[in-house]
Amino acid sequence: MTTLRPQHISANEADYGRDGVIQVNGLFTAEEMNTVRAAFTVLVHQDRKTLGAEDDIDPGDILSRYPRFMQPHRRTDLEVGRIARRLMTDSRLLDTVQRLIGPAHGAQSMFYFKPPTARGQAMHQDNYFLRAHPETCLAAWIAVDDCDAANGALSVVPGSHAMEVVCPEEADAEESFTSGLVRPPAGMRARQTSMRPGDVLFFHGSLVHGSLPNTTTDRFRRSLIFHYVPQSSLEIASWYLPLVAPDGSDRTIPVASGGGPCGDAWPGAAH
């Protein structure tokens, strides 16, 4: 397993076109992230099925106890759902999103617990799953815990967003809980991020990115992730409908063929 040293990711929105990724530190406060962390952690300890994906993971795998939560913003009957929906449409996020891709709708929320020893997610491109068209999606990846190489923070390949979205090859099941792998384009290298609670990484739907396992014994790497698409999008995979408008109301657009939840889990319980 290769471990990368943390490297600078530009915070300058003007660099988004060149790099396809920017890191905005302190967009949310540490107190806000304490609230997010507590609500999701209480729920996963009480009930990991309602929102949890990957329900066929081997019971010996730590991720079976801490599956990622998908689309919590649709469950406003739950505290985590209200939090996710409120933050998805928070003006601090939407202002940056709008400056990067224009007026946008929310398409997805996810919460990763990534407990100690959990596998990461092999390098991939998000729009392979979202199928937003004619433009791509934008991710806002919010650090809920301190994260770095040791607990499996995200790695990104600046500039890789200029390549086409490609079909994944098979990932390494020892390192990745998802099955697809997209290698960085020739000559481009992954950069290791390092983030504090409340920092946000914004990245393009074609950007190659992923994460390695959490190698610590005691540090969760929780993150709250949103995906946005331009309001002018003509279609998107059905998993992402309805979209969420900035005022919190639902919106529907035509369904694209293919796609699905971000990152295919390995088929069956074997992995």
Q: Which of 16, 111, 128, 141 binds ligand AKG (CB under 6 A)?
A: 141
Cα 124 to Cα 78, 129, 214, 223, 269: the distances in Å are 31, 10, 18, 17, 22
Nearer to ligand AKG by C-beta: 89 or 193?
193
Residue 206 C-beta: closest distance to ligand AKG, Å: 12
**Percent helix, strand and coil across the chain, each to the nearest 5:** 25, 25, 55
Only segment of 24-32, 89-97, 119-127, 245-253 that touches ligand AKG (CB under 6 A): 119-127
Residue 141 C-beta: closest distance to ligand AKG, Å: 6
154 binds ligand AKG (CB under 6 A): yes
Nearer to ligand AKG by C-beta: 127 or 233?
127
Binding string, residues 202-221; x marks residues near ligand AKG by CB under 6 A: -------xxx----------
Contact 265, 126 (CB under 8 A): no
120 binds ligand AKG (CB under 6 A): yes
Non-local CB neighbours of 78 within 8 Å, separated by 6+ positions: 43, 50, 51, 72
Q: Which of 126, 132, 195, 197 binds ligand AKG (CB under 6 A)?
A: 126
112 binds ligand AKG (CB under 6 A): yes
Rounded Cα distance between 110 and 261, Å, is: 10
Q: Cβ atoms within 10 A of the Cβ of 242, count?
A: 14
121 binds ligand AKG (CB under 6 A): yes
199 binds ligand AKG (CB under 6 A): no
Q: Which residues contribute to the site for ligand AKG (CB under 6 A)?
A: 112, 120-121, 126, 139, 141, 154, 209-211, 223, 225, 262
